[in-house]
């Protein structure tokens, strides 16, 4: 494993992994908070020409294929059109607790508030996107507030868990192990039992482990146990 990490560092340099890339961006003047993850750094394009024009808060998840730009080169057309050379730059600010979906592009002049979810393939063309927003589309718009989306996602948990069960059963003709329902373990897992490692990993993922652990133990499962949950999944709609 150690040799693999060394080789990766030699091949990809400052983009070898998230922590290496974050440290490198900070060394270039980018203001980055705590617990920021850049997934697949080699497939992300974060403006390195003016890194000091970007500020990223705490607990931000930047997924594969994300582009963040603080400048534009559209003035190249003006240069051929009139001979003028024009500057083009504006800061990008990303708040705390933000998830940026795959292949999203954030252009200069964009300000993203706290507690925001940005859907995959969104194009943020500048302007202010307020706190507690779910942002989607090209050009991006606020689809709804975070609380509305939270309620929608919570209401979909049972249906999506059942869909997961049905597709596993269809593909493998066997009952799925607990591990398959790693994000859905809240539905059936005993609050007094020791959690298996993959369920612990879900609580730890992205930080705030203590908060998630407290929340888990303060709620009640919707099913008596895993078998009871499977029996519900077996029922026809």
- Least reliable range by pLDDT among 87-91, 149-153, 214-218: 87-91
Task: Give 122-144 pLDDT, tens digit per residue.
Answer: 999 999 999 999 999 999 999 99
Tokens read off for 122: 């969104």
Mean pLDDT (the chain, rounded): 93
151 and 132 Cβ atoms separated by less than 8 Å? no
Task: Give 33-77 pLDDT, tens digit per residue.
Answer: 999 999 999 999 999 999 999 999 999 999 999 999 999 888 788
Between 84 and 192, the more confident residue is: 192
68 and 45 Cβ atoms separated by less than 8 Å? yes
Q: Is the pLDDT of residue 173 over 90?
A: yes
Domain 2-151 carries which CATH code?
A: 2.160.10.10
Of the candidates 120, 115, 181, which has an alpha carbon nearest to the alpha carbon of residue 149? 115
Strands 54-56 and 92-94: parallel
C-alpha angle with apex 102: 97 to 105, nearest 5 degrees?
85
22 and 30 Cβ atoms separated by less than 8 Å? no
29: region left, alpha or beta (phi > 0 left; psi from -120 to 50 alpha):
left
Mean per-residue pLDDT for 68-92? 87
pLDDT at 231: 95
Cβ contacts of 208-212, under 8 Å, gap ≥ 24: 208/59
For the chain, the domains span 2-151, 156-234
pLDDT tier, 78 (very low <50, low <70, confident <90, very high otherwise):
confident
Cα separation, 43 vs 141, whole angstroms: 25
Task: Give 4-43 pLDDT, tens digit per residue.
Answer: 776 777 777 889 899 999 999 999 999 999 999 999 999 9
What's phi and psi for 77, nearest 5 deg? Answer: -70, -40
Of the candidates 168, 171, 193, which has an alpha carbon nearest to the alpha carbon of residue 179? 168
pLDDT at 1: 60
Q: Is the pLDDT of residue 185 over 90?
A: yes
191 and 222 Cβ atoms separated by less than 8 Å? no
What's the predicted TM-score (pTM) here? 0.88
Q: Is the pLDDT of residue 188 over 80?
A: yes
Cα separation, 137 vs 95, whole angstroms: 20
């Amino acid at each position: 494993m150690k040799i693999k990490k060394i080789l990766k560092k030699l091949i990809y340099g400052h983009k070898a992994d998230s922590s290496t890339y974050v440290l490198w961006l900070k060394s270039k003047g980018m203001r980055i908070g705590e617990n920021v993850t850049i997934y697949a750094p080699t497939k992300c394009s974060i403006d390195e020409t003016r890194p000091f024009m970007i500020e990223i808060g705490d607990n931000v998840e930047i997924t594969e294929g994300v582009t963040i730009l603080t400048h534009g080169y559209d003035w190249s057309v003006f240069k051929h059109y009139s001979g003028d050379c024009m500057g083009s730059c504006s800061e990008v600010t990303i708040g705390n607790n933000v998830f940026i979906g795959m292949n999203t592009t954030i252009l200069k002049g964009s300000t993203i508030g706290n507690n925001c979810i940005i859907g995959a393939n969104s194009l943020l063309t500048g302007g202010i996107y307020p706190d507690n927003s779910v942002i989607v589309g090209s050009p991006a718009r606020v689809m709804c507030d975070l609380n509305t989306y939270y309620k929608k996602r919570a209401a979909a948990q049972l249906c999506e868990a059942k869909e997961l069960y049905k597709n596993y059963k269809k593909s493998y003709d066997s009952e799925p192990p607990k591990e398959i329902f790693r994000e859905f373990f809240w539905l059936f897992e005993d609050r007094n039992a020791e959690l298996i490692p993959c369920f612990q990993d879900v609580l730890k993922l992205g930080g705030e482990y203590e908060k998630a652990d407290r929340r888990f133990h303060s709620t009640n499962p919707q099913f008596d146990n895993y078998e009871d949950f499977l029996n519900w999944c077996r029922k026809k709609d």
